[in-house]
Structure 1
Amino acid sequence: EEGCGTCHGGRVAPEYLGKNEGFPPDVHWQKAKMDCVACHPAAQMHGDGTAYPDRHAVKSKPQCLDCHPNAKATGSPIEQHAGHLDKVNCVVCHSTVYRGCENCHLGAGAKSSLQFKIGKTARADAPYQITLLRHVPTVRTMLDPKLKDGMPNYDAVPTWKDTTPQGGGGRHAGVGEGRVSGR
């Protein structure tokens, strides 16, 4: 919980370590006591110096198939994997409940609940069609107090997105105008 959990303690650490009451920890922690650096080595920490448009563009990030090559859908000896034909993200079946974004994005007093939503990815470049989704807590009228009808294209973008955010500025983007950076 120290170290990585200092910044990633709101969502990632409790999920991984099994701190959400009634839900087990990630299997990598539960069975092998693998800490964060087992998959995210020091050389990878917070980037390689290149500014990427989002975290999905980083080719060196760990992938399930890096350590579990027999889990690939095509030709897999695992019957359930063979039926997916590379259309289902591994985390759909191999994950646990996760915290929503409400606490930070809707302010103090907003209730955040554990969720587990499976759906179609909104990312055109995703190597899968089905994944876990996280709700972006927003409503069409959220800007009205400052700018009436300030979101005319509200319905043009999905409010359920992949569980791993794609940049977005602030605490989700690192350095450099909403892009994941190497620092």
Structure 2
Amino acid sequence: MLRVDDHKGIALLFPSLARGSEQIQKPVILQRPEPAPSVPLIARDAYVAETSSQIEALQATLRLLSRDVGRLSDKVGEMERTADQDHRWLEFERSDKKAKQVKLEDAVRTCRELKARLDRIEANNRGNYHAYHSFEAVSRKLGELEGFRTEAKRAERTVIWRARLLCGLIAASFLIVMLSGVFPN
């Protein structure tokens, strides 16, 4: 490390500084040489200038290419979003079609179960499985069975009403017998 206080070491290295300590304290200002008048370039300078212009042209081309790549990436992103949306719509249509198919299969299964129940209920059918191939025939048969059902409920209500009337008459006759004093206490 070089110290300013040590004038002897500096004086040996730089004889022009050995004159006195006043010159050490003055700042040294370096002056740049003035530009020389234009002279013809040497071959190397011409190569450097040509290379520099080619590099600038390449940089301009790269800027254009990067701008184009940016636009293309935006378009590709938009196409990907559109493809994703189309894929979601396709999946929705497939699931909707599958749900409709499942509902149709359930309806067919329910109709077959109804047909089997009707065949078991109607004893005189004797294996005539072709009797109920249309909804109209099934509806007609269900209407007939509904008529039997309402008739059975009406008969059940009549029987229950008659049973209550009978119980009421028995209770009234028992009460009359008890009040008439036929049985001594």
Q: Given the two structures, how large is their TM-score scaled by the length of structure 1?
A: 0.15
More helix by share: 2
More strand by share: 1
Which structure is larger by alpha-carbon Rg, 1 or 2?
A: 2
Identify which of structures 1 and 2 has the higher relative contact order when contacts are C-alpha pairs closer than 8 Å and 6+ apart.
1
Q: Given the two structures, how large is their TM-score scaled by the length of structure 2?
A: 0.15
